[in-house]
Structures are given as C-alpha cells and as structure tokens.
Amino acid sequence: MANTIETGVSRRVFLATGATAIAATALTDRRFIPSAHAETGAIGTTMRERATRFLSLLDTAQHQAAAFSFDDRTRRAWNFMLGSRFAPGLPLERMTDEQKDAALDLLSSGLSKDGMTTAENIMLQQDILRDEWGKGSPDRNRERFSLMIFGTASETDAWGWRWEGHHLSLSYTLIGDEIVSVTPSAFSSEPNTVPSGPYRGLVVLPDEESLGRTVERELSAANRRTALIQESSFGNILAVAGRENRVQGELVGVPLGDLPQAQIDMVTRLIEVYTVDHLPAPLASGQAARIREGDLMSARFGWAGANRENESIYYRLTGDTFLIEFATLRGQPLHQHAVRHDFERNMGKHRV
C-alpha cells in the first residue's frame, strides 16, 4: 500500500501531483483485537495541539471561515454528497502551504495509515472525476476539502472537528483530550475502480462492495430470504444528516446468530472494515470494544437489490450500537456510498 503522507513536503507533492496515493490493497485484518490497553488520551492531546496550531496560522477571515461555536448547527449538518460544491469551513485550496500542512496534520491524527491513504485517494478522485469523467465544474479538485473546528480546543471543554468534501466526511468529538465520538464517518467513492487514465486500476474502497456481495452470496437460500429487505436497491443510503437514526429499531435482515461460523467471521470482518481499519490503534481498540458492548449475534445483515455485476445493490448492518450502510447508486455501479453511525454516540450526543 502507498505510504501515508507524513511530512509537509510530501503532502504538498500529493496535493500537486497525486503521486503518493495511487495504490490500494486489502486492509489489515484486525479481528477486533487491537491493543485493549492503548489509551486514546494521547491522540486527543495531539488533536487539540494540532487544532490549536492550525487556527493560530489563520488570518482573521480564514479564522472566521474555519471556527464555529460548538453548538453551531453546522456541526450536525454533515454531508458527503457535495459534488463540486464547497463544504463549510476553510478549504485546502484557500490555505497557504504551511496551513495545508497543519490541516493535514490534524487529519492524520485521527486516521491509521490505511485510513489516511483511503482519504487521500478519495481526494484524488475529484481530479479523476474532472479530468477523466467530465463530472462537476472544471475547478473541481483534490483541494476542495474543508476543515472545521467546533468550540475551543481546550483541556476541559467539549469541542470537535470535521474534515469534509465530496465523498468524505469525518467527525470527531472530544471533551478536553478525551475522544468521545468518531462518528458519523463516510468514505465513499466514484469510480471505485478507476477504469482508464493515469490512475487506471486504483481501487479506493477494496472491501466494502466485494465483501458485502460475498456475504450475501454465501447465505443459504432461507437466510437469503430473511436478509432481503426489498427486491430493488434503495439506490442510496438512508441515514443522512438529521435522519441518522432512521432505521433504528427496524428488525430486518438475518441475525448473525443464525449463520454458520464461517459466515459470522465474514460479517465480523465486514464490520471491522467500517469500524476499526481506518482508525489508529488506540481508537480502533475503543471502537472494537464499543461493538462488543452490544449483542453481536443479534446484529442483522440486510440486503436490497440483485447481487449481479453492474446492478445497484444496498446492504445494511444493524447492531445494538451501530449502523452501517452501503449502496451503489442506481445506474452507476462504480459510484459507491458508505457510512457508519453509532446510534447513541454520534457527535458525542451521549456526553455533550
């Protein structure tokens, strides 16, 4: 896998050329067992320090664009379906090189190496959409991603930050240096497998579609009927901003406890793709523990659509503590949307 961008110089190379983030392979199988003793406080401290540094580099107008009060309604208006439009906040393309380095430093504090590579590849796709697919305005580009800081990054108060642009929305909520929420998170992609051009063969989300299709295909006939939510795909995810809990309580899909062990392992791996693979080890450990807080065997896998190549599909994983949704858009098999929510903890609502 391509190395994550770790220095200011290499980050600027990526923003200029995309040369450092064009390879993707299968993600590491964490098996829900990252270090159980790792502390998230150090990551929270790093986030606070990097957020403070980023804000210190901004002029007055930039600060007004990037900084919001913690209770500003923008904090809950996350959106990964932006097309060529700007997200709220301060976009990379309106930052100096030093400011870009500081912004990307903050982003990297919340992601594993694999997660950072995925984020970079989603950013890179904006150039691919513009140059190879002719989608969006001609000024669509990999720097049209914004950073927002909510509240004051202090050692005691509630605060948060979000990184957002087309097909990528990552929200972190903290109380001081304690990270209390890493959701909602959305990693989406178009075209997920790049068919032509200089980035031909790049696969941005290597597991979300392929593993989901395999799970459905491996079900017994009876379990496949139980898993089916409806015959046709929904054509998109359902749990968007303001409707994050839309499907909570819907007892649809096949429970994991009804599956043979090999299929339970496969579904568990699929849950990991959304909950731990993109996070640094201490945060991954906390999210693995969060999944185990519920009855995993009662979690359900639901499906909609025909599991055939070039057909729009939708699947849903619903547990006591999580919702995962995946959809290929209707008539656009290479256009994939994927989100993860924590019903109780999105944006720290259980604590703030």
Task: For 208-237, write each residue's pLDDT tens digit.
Answer: 999 999 999 999 999 999 999 999 999 999
Give the domain extent around 120: 8-187
| pLDDT tens per residue across span 26-83 | 333 333 333 333 467 899 999 999 999 999 999 999 999 999 999 999 999 999 999 9
Check whether residue 27 and residue 114 sit in a common domain: yes
Q: Would you place residue 258 in the very low, low, confident or very high pLDDT band (cuts 50, 70, 90)?
A: very high
Query: Does 194 reside within a domain?
Result: no
Check whether residue 223 and residue 177 sit in a common domain: no
Check whether residue 235 and residue 174 sit in a common domain: no
Mutual angle of helices 261-275 and 208-218, in 10-degree steps: 160
Percent of the chain whose pLDDT exceeds 90: 82
Query: Does 203 reside within a domain?
Result: no
Q: Would you place residue 10 in the very low, low, confident or very high pLDDT band (cuts 50, 70, 90)?
A: low
Check whether residue 101 and residue 229 sit in a common domain: no
Residue 204, sorted as left (phi over 0), alpha (psi -120 to 50) or beta, turns out to be alpha
The yes-or-no verdict on residue 6 having pLDDT over 50 is: no
Average pLDDT across the chain, whole number? 90
Check whether residue 22 and residue 159 sit in a common domain: yes
The yes-or-no verdict on residue 154 having pLDDT over 90 is: yes
Query: Does 175 reside within a domain?
Result: yes
Q: Report the domain count for the chain.
A: 2
Q: Would you place residue 8 in the very low, low, confident or very high pLDDT band (cuts 50, 70, 90)?
A: low
Check whether residue 153 and residue 282 sit in a common domain: no
Query: Does 126 reside within a domain?
Result: yes
Check whether residue 14 and residue 100 sit in a common domain: yes
| pLDDT tens per residue across span 285-337 | 999 999 999 999 999 999 999 999 889 999 999 999 999 999 999 989 899 99
pLDDT of residue 16: 67
